[in-house]
Amino acid sequence: MRFLDIDIKTVIVMLCIGNLVVLTLLFVSIKPGSKNSIKYFALSKFIQSIAWVLLAFRGEISNLLSLALGNLILFIGFAMESISVVSYKKQITIKVLIAYILSPAVFTFLFLYLSKSRPTLVLVYVSVFAFVYAVLPGLVLLFESGSSKLQKTLGSLYIFGSFTLIIRIISALTATQEFSLFTKHYSQTLTFVTTYLLMLLGSIGFLLLIKEQTEMELHRAATLDGLTGLFNRRAFFAEAEKVTALASRRKEPVSLLMIDLDKFKSINDKFGHGIGDLFIMDFAAATRQQLRNYDIVGRYGGEEFVVLLPNTGPGEAAIVAERLRKNIEDRVLPGFENIKYTASIGISSSIPEPTQGIDMLIKISDKALYAAKGKGRNRIEVGFA
């Protein structure tokens, strides 16, 4: 495989330059308030650049600098890159972070003690460590629930990089002579070329992850209520219009619940808005748990909420509303056992006309809600057109 017979030192120099270029791009991308994962990724590229310089001078500087310090710094750089990517999908604890950063130092000491002057053992050790740091983000991005196509593609790149390291390990262990950093072999070329491509494509992918996450956060801010995580008023109406339009075509009933927390102003006045917000969040979580996945829940404003129940007639809607009301009446917020809160619910139900939309259901439910409050609160009322 002479077409794979290229100069390893040249690739290492390219890795150094490439990491510095990526570092520059990341430095431009980092803004005040940027997440730590972005800063860690940028720092990992700087650390890796230093390591590749030390490795490139293998044989021209002392082994203490090139072999020991070079590999140690490279491991730390790989560890920081790995943890940066993983943290986009999973919460990283301080203990895991410390172990990830300190473990290279411990294992490098053991490796130097055990390897003595065996170049093959050195190469296998380095490859095993690099494999661990490549395969972890690959597995997380590929198989963690909710991964986007971009995240799965980036995960596949890391998995492919770890696969080439396995080939390198097998080649070194089965070679008839000592295997070192600059040994010319197809597995060496495959590993370093893949490392270079992963450095470029992985960094581009990471920048795209930043962009993807920013867009998701903007979408979340535009559609979800910041306190409860439910749809805000505008987003609720947008989703509800789609549901009622579909119900109109299929001639299926839909029902709407207008919910208001009873005398909620008194809780805010007596205990403060901070405590009031806790009850709002508790109500939102409790209500969402009682509904189907495809039911649409939104915060209409203040302590008023709306629930749209697709393919649900008035009888079923009344059962759902009573279940929600009873659940709220029975709830006790930990730490605030002396504060009880209840809800009044107005119900409307119809098979929507093509030109009717959600407005008629809102109007009827609103009237029913006022009727429920007028009859003593903590009750449900069914409205009629």
pLDDT at 117 over 90: no
Work out the pLDDT band at 164, boundaries 50, 70, 90: very high
Question: Does 186 score more than 70 pLDDT?
Answer: yes
Under 8 Å between Cβ of 80 and 43: yes
Strands 343-350 and 304-310 turn out to be: unpaired
Which one-letter amino acid corresponds to residue 350? S
- What is the band of 32 on the pLDDT scale with cuts at 50, 70, 90? low
Quote the pLDDT of residue 3. 46
Q: Which of 24-38, 171-185, 197-211 has the lowest mean pLDDT?
A: 24-38
Q: Count the residues in the chain.
A: 385
Alpha helices in the chain (DSSP H): 8-29, 36-56, 63, 70-86, 94-115, 119-143, 149-174, 186-223, 233-250, 264-271, 273-289, 314-330, 359-374
Which residues have C-beta within 8 Å of that of residue 55, sequence separation ≥ 6?
12, 66, 70, 71, 74, 181
Tell which residue, 124, 196, 208, 212, has the closest CA to residue 160: 196
Instruction: Give me the phi and psi of 58, to 5 degrees please.
Output: -60, 130
343-350 vs 380-382, strand pairing mode = parallel
**What is the per-residue pLDDT for 312?**
94
Output the DSSP codes for 300-329: EETTEEEEEEET--HHHHHHHHHHHHHHHH
pLDDT (average), residues 290-307? 93
How far apart, in whole angstroms, are the C-alpha atoms of residue 353 and residue 247? 9
260 — pLDDT class (breaks 50, 70, 90) = very high
Nearest alpha-carbon partner for 188 in 216, 164, 221: 164
Mean pLDDT score, 184-197: 89
- Kindly compute the dihedral angle of the four CA atoms of residues 250, 251, 252, 253, in this order, to the nearest 10 degrees: 150
pLDDT at 271: 83
Out of 19-33, 44-58, 189-203, least confident range: 19-33
Closest CA to 284 of 233, 347, 230, 362: 230
Burial class (CB in 10 A: 0-12, 13-18, 19+), 118: middle
Query: Domains of the chain (ranges plus CATH)?
Result: 2-222 (1.20.1070), 233-382 (3.30.70.270)
Phi, psi of 211 (to 5 degrees): -65, -45
Q: Of residues 116 and 281, which shows the higher confidence score?
A: 281
The pLDDT, as a whole number, for residue 317 is: 94
In this prediction, residue 382 carries a pLDDT of 92
Tell me which residue of 286, 266, 293, 371 sits closest to 333, measured CA to CA. Answer: 286
Q: Retrieve residue 9's tokens.
A: 């030192």
Q: Output 146 or 302, whichever has higher pLDDT.
A: 302
